[in-house]
Amino acid sequence: MRILLFGATGFLGGRVLERLLDERHEVVAVVRDPAPLARYGTQVSVVRGDIAVPSTYRGQGLQCDASINCVGLLRGGFRGREYARVVVRGTQAWVKECQEAGIQHVVLVSANGADPEGPPYARTKWTAEQAVRNAGPAWTIFRPSFIIGPGGIVEQFGRLLKLRVLPVFGRQDYLGEPIDRDDVVAAILASLRSAKAKNRVFHLGGPDQVTYREMVDAIRRHTGTKCWMPTLPRSVGYAMAGTLGWLPFFPATVENLRLLFKGNLVPERDVELVLGIQPKPFEASVKAAVEGLHGAKTA
C-alpha cells in the first residue's frame, strides 16, 4: 500500500513509520520538521507541512490507498487554542484532503476518554472523531490508554525520578491500563489489512490495571533510580499545576491532572478479537521501554 502518514516524527508515529517500512509499504510522511527523517533517505517521501494548513500538503494523497493520523498534543496552550487548531481544525483539514485525493481508508489515533462534555483535551479529541466518522472514506479510530514505550511517559518520568523526590497525589483509586507502543502500532497496521476494522472505534488497553504510583514505581525500579515518592493531597497537585503548569519543563497542567484523576480504563477490548492483538503485560512493557530508551541513547 501507499500510505499518507502524519506525525511521523513523534513518539507513536515514528514507530508506525518504521513498521510500515518493515512491511514494504510506500510512505508519504507530512511533518513540520523533515530533519529527523533524513536517515531514511529515499525510503520515505517527506513533505514539509502542517496538518492544520492543508495548502502545505495539498495533492500529496493522490495515489495513496490509506492515511494515518498520529498527530497529538498533551498541552493545548492558552484556553486550549492549540488543541482547537491542531486536533480539531487539523483533523478536519486532513479528512477533507483525503476525500479530495480519493483515499479509501483513514485511521485516526484519538484517546481513551474522548468526551463531548470533557475538558478541552477530551472534548477536542471527540470533535476530531466526528470529522472522521462523517468522512467519505472508510475510517478506523483508536482510543489508547497510556502508551508505554521508549520515550513518552517513560522518558519523562525517568527524568523526574532523577530529582530524587516525586510526589503522588491523593488516594490511589484512579487506575489506568497502560498499553505497549508496539501493540498500538500492531493494531494500526492490522486495521489497514482488515475489512472488519472499517468504520469502527477500538479502545486499546493493556491486560493490567495499575495505579499512578504503581506505574511510576515500575519505571523507578527498571531505571534503578532511588526516589522518595510522598503522597500529597490532590489539592496540592492542582495548586502546583496551576502555578507552574504553563512552564515547558513542568510535567502536568491542571487539565492533565483532572484527566489522570478520572482514570484511564478502557470500556471494551474488541481489538483483541477483531484484529488478534494480545497486549503485553505492564511490567514487560516498562522493562522493554527502559531498555529501548537506554539503547537509543548509547547507540
| pLDDT tens column, 127-185 | 999 999 998 789 999 999 999 999 988 998 888 899 898 889 988 888 999 999 999 99
Residue 30 pLDDT > 60: yes
pLDDT per position as a tens digit, 215-266 = 999 999 999 999 999 999 999 999 998 898 777 777 788 888 888 888 999 9
Q: 224: exposed, middle or buried (C-beta count within 10 Å: 0-12, 13-18, 19+)?
A: exposed
- pLDDT category at 80 given cuts 50, 70, 90 is low
**Assigned domain for 164 exists:** no
Instruction: Answer whether residue 20 is part of any domain.
Output: yes
Directed axis angle between helix 212-223 and helix 152-161, to 10°?
Answer: 70
Q: Would you call 182 helix, strand, or coil by DSSP?
A: helix
Helix spans in the chain (H): 13-22, 81-82, 90-101, 120-133, 152-161, 181-193, 212-223, 234-244, 254-262, 270-274, 282-298
Query: Which amino acid, residue 292?
Result: G
How high is the pLDDT of residue 298?
A: 47
Contacts of 255 (CB under 8 A, 6+ apart): 76, 119, 120, 121
114 within some domain: yes
Whole-number Cα distances in Å, 193 to 23, 173, 190: 12, 39, 5
Asked if residue 135 belongs to a domain, the reply is: yes
In a domain, 70, yes or no: yes
Does residue 161 fall inside a structural domain? no
Residue 136, domain extent? 2-144
Instruction: From 29, 75, 36, select the one nearest 56 (Cα to Cα).
Output: 29
DSSP, collapsed to helix, strand or coil, labels residue 47 as strand
Residue 210 · residue 178 · CB < 8 Å: yes
pLDDT tier, 78 (very low <50, low <70, confident <90, very high otherwise): low
Instruction: Of 122, 117, 94, 232, give the one whose Cα is nearest residue 169.
Output: 232
The answer to whether residue 55 scores a pLDDT higher than 70 is: yes
pLDDT single digits (tens) 88-126: 999 999 999 999 999 999 999 999 999 999 888 889 999
> CA 251 to CA 230: how far, in whole Å?
17
Q: Determine how β-strand 66-69 pairs with β-strand 44-48.
A: unpaired
Residue count (the chain): 299
Does 113 map to a domain?
yes
Q: How far apart are CA 178 and CA 264, in angstroms?
A: 8
Give the whole-angstrom CA distance, residue 104 versus residue 109.
Answer: 17
Structural domains of the chain, count: 1
What digits encode the pLDDT tens for the residues 175-226?
999 999 999 999 999 999 999 999 999 999 999 999 999 999 999 999 999 9
Residue 65 belongs to domain with CATH number: 3.40.50.720
Q: Which amino acid belongs to residue 51?
A: I
48 touches 56 (CB < 8 A): yes
pTM score? 0.93
The answer to whether residues 225 and 162 touch, using CB atoms and an 8 Å cutoff, is: yes
pLDDT for res 173: 85
Q: Is the pLDDT of residue 293 over 90?
A: no
